[in-house]
């Protein structure tokens, strides 16, 4: 084996060894959570280790058998999905306008859109609470503790990020294609449907996925702007922390169940995530 070939082999081994190590390091907290969910209350306070001594499903049965868990899960699925669809549609329309039309102060508008992501979410909590409980009131009905309220709220915070993400995607689509479609008789909606949407599909996919995950994982607003009917699955995790102690086994079991939907989406859509994040990155 020559010196050059030996260096290549060692470089190959070192590179893949590093990424294997980083992968295992990332998965250790998830494995630890799974191990915790498979232990009884007595075993949890024994000597800690990363091995599973036996199959213990009581924590999962307690969580799945709770009617509140089903309501929390359905609320999270509905709110996250509706938010992702709404954000995807509005972001596409806004991005197309910013990319194709000569708007006055367009660069300032584009920068202003992202400024609401610069402040910590807690800074908006008090004003939003007052808006949810007092400002938007129709008789006795308010946005507080409603699925609609959380959908619109998550849209406010996810939409600037989605526009920022889609801007490079739409800019990467030649405007000549729009002109060609209009010459063939397509209107604005025809251009969006037959030109922009098919070519921007990877970017739209990653926008919808990230918006869905952000809404699914959000805790602060869901915990403070809901009480019973619209509570999400992330807020249910806090219910296992009581004044008499923390139910670590059931908490870990619900955490694993909470992780499954987003993990499934990311696994099946990972190629769209890579395509969407790199689409439009290189522009002639």
Tens of pLDDT, residues 92-129: 999 998 888 887 777 778 778 878 778 888 889 999 99
Residues 52 and 182 in one domain: no
Do both 30 and 163 map to the same domain?
Answer: no
Q: What is the pLDDT of residue 244?
A: 79
pLDDT bin (cut points 50, 70, 90) of residue 284 is: very low
* Pairing of β 141-142 and β 241-242: unpaired
Residues 62-85: what's their mean pLDDT? Answer: 90
Distance, in Å, from the CA atom of 159 to the CA atom of 162, rounded to the nearest integer, reads 5
> Is pLDDT above 90 for 134?
no
Q: Give yes or no for residue 166 having a pLDDT over 60.
A: yes
Q: In CATH, what number is assigned to the domain containing residue 103?
A: 1.10.3720.10
52 and 188 belong to one structural domain: no
- Is 163 within the bounds of a domain? yes
Residue 214 has pLDDT above 50, yes or no: yes
**Residue that finishes a domain, picked among 56, 85, 103:** 56
What pLDDT is stored for residue 272 in this prediction? 67
**pLDDT at 179 > cutoff 80:** yes
246 belongs to a structural domain: yes
Record the pTM.
Answer: 0.84
Torsion of the alpha carbons at 128, 129, 134 and 135, rounded to the nearest 10: 0
Burial code (b: 16+ CB inside 10 Å, e: under 16) for 201-216 equals ebbbbbbbbbbbbbbb
Q: Is the pLDDT of residue 2 over 70?
A: no
245 or 190, greater pLDDT: 190
Q: How many CA atoms lie within 13 A of 234 on its CB side?
A: 20
Same domain, 68 and 90: yes
Do 120 and 253 share a structural domain? yes
With 90 as the cut, is the pLDDT of residue 78 above it? yes
User: Mean pLDDT over all residues of the chain?
Assistant: 85
Supply the range of the domain harboring residue 42. Answer: 1-56
CB 266: neighbour CB atoms within 10 A? 14
Mean pLDDT throughout 71-96? 93
Indicate whether 197 belongs to any domain. Answer: yes
**Averaged pLDDT for residues 270-277:** 64
């Amino acid at each position: 084996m020559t010196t050059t070939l030996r260096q290549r082999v060692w470089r190959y081994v070192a590179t893949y060894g590093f990424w294997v190590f980083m992968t295992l390091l990332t998965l250790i907290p998830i494995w630890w959570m799974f191990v915790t969910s498979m232990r009884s209350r007595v075993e949890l306070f024994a000597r800690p280790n990363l091995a599973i001594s036996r199959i213990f499903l009581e924590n999962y049965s307690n969580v799945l058998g709770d009617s509140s868990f089903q309501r929390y899960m359905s609320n999270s699925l509905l709110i996250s999905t509706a938010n992702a669809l709404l954000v995807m549609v509005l972001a596409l329309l806004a991005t197309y306008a910013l990319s194709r039309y000569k708007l006055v102060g367009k660069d300032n508008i584009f920068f202003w859109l992202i400024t609401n992501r610069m402040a910590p979410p807690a800074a908006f909590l008090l004003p939003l609470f007052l808006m949810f409980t007092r400002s938007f009131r129709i008789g006795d009905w308010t946005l507080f503790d409603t699925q609609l309220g959380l959908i619109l709220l998550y849209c406010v915070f996810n939409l600037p990020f989605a526009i920022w993400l889609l801007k490079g995607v739409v800019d990467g689509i030649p405007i000549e294609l729009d002109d060609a479609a209009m010459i063939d008789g397509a209107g604005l909606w025809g251009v969006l449907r037959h030109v922009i949407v098919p070519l921007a599909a990877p970017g739209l996919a990653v926008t919808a996925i990230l918006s869905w995950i952000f809404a699914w994982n959000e805790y602060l607003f869901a915990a403070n702007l809901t009480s019973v009917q619209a509570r999400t699955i992330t807020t249910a995790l806090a219910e296992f922390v009581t004044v008499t102690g923390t139910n670590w086994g059931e908490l870990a079991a619900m955490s694993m169940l909470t992780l499954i939907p987003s993990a499934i989406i990311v696994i099946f859509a990972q190629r769209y995530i890579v395509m969407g994040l790199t689409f439009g990155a290189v522009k002639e």
